[in-house]
Amino acid sequence: MDSAASELLGELPMEDEQLQAWQTDRTRAPVATKIIVAGGFGVGKTTLVSAVSEIQPLETEALMTQASEETDDLTATPGKSTTTVAMDFGRITLDDDLVLYLFGTPGQQRFWFMWDDLVRGAIGAVVLADTRRLKDSFPALDYFESCGLPYVVAVNHFDDTEEFAPEDVREALTVPPHVPVLIMDARRRIAAVETLLALVGHALDATPE
């Protein structure tokens, strides 16, 4: 973990910690930044938002029923019983006056019509990928490429899967050389924070103005 991530983790407010300056001083308006967390069905978007959010995350999870059996493939995620039907929402403070608002997209194709509204105003996106189902990442990659939104690819490494090098994933997904590709665990706060830092840095490089 680099020094930036270490400093960030030391500044993340927890439930019993002191409020941020922008939360107590009405004259100090925070810089609000919107981040999208996207990817295929069951790849870990809700998990990532929950792991990093400093507030109780908003989750629009619904129980899966037999009606979705023909459209939602549970082969790689047999224990999954719920799915996001609108969005996930969380918040993380990166500095005294810099706040990231996280919006997790629904993964199933039947909910893709919501993406245009969710993406509006975002500085960038994290595209989560599962090496068992890399093809499920292509719709999100194609979407962000077409709309010109900076993004990073974060492979959510599950315990029972083979770990691949970032460059192998880059080649398999034909990700451009300038786009960061990371291997992480969406359940772990440190890994989620480092992924968000990578995205913010990439977005600043892509759109420095």
CA dist 151 and 130 (Å) reads: 16
Q: What would the pLDDT profile of 47-94 be if each residue is shown by its tens digit? A: 999 999 999 887 655 444 444 444 445 455 445 444 444 578 999 998
Structure tokens at 8: 């960030």
pLDDT at 158: 84
**93, 95, 99, 103: CA torsion to nearest 10:** -60
Amino acid identity for residue 64 in this structure: M
Q: Is the pLDDT of residue 197 over 80?
A: yes
Which backbone phi and psi does 85 adopt, to 5 degrees?
Answer: -110, -5
Q: Residues 186-202: what's their mean pLDDT?
A: 95
pLDDT at 109: 66
CA dist 46 and 24 (Å) reads: 29
Global pTM?
0.75
For the chain, helix (H) and strand (E) counts, in that order, are 7, 7
Of 16-30, 94-108, 169-183, minimum mean pLDDT range = 16-30
pLDDT at 114: 79
Check if the beta carbon of residue 107 is closer than 8 Å to that of residue 84: yes
Which range of 24-38, 152-166, 173-187 scores highest in mean pLDDT? It is: 173-187
Mean pLDDT of the chain: 80
Which stretch of DSSP H or E encloses residue 93?
strand 82-95
Q: Is the pLDDT of residue 196 over 60?
A: yes
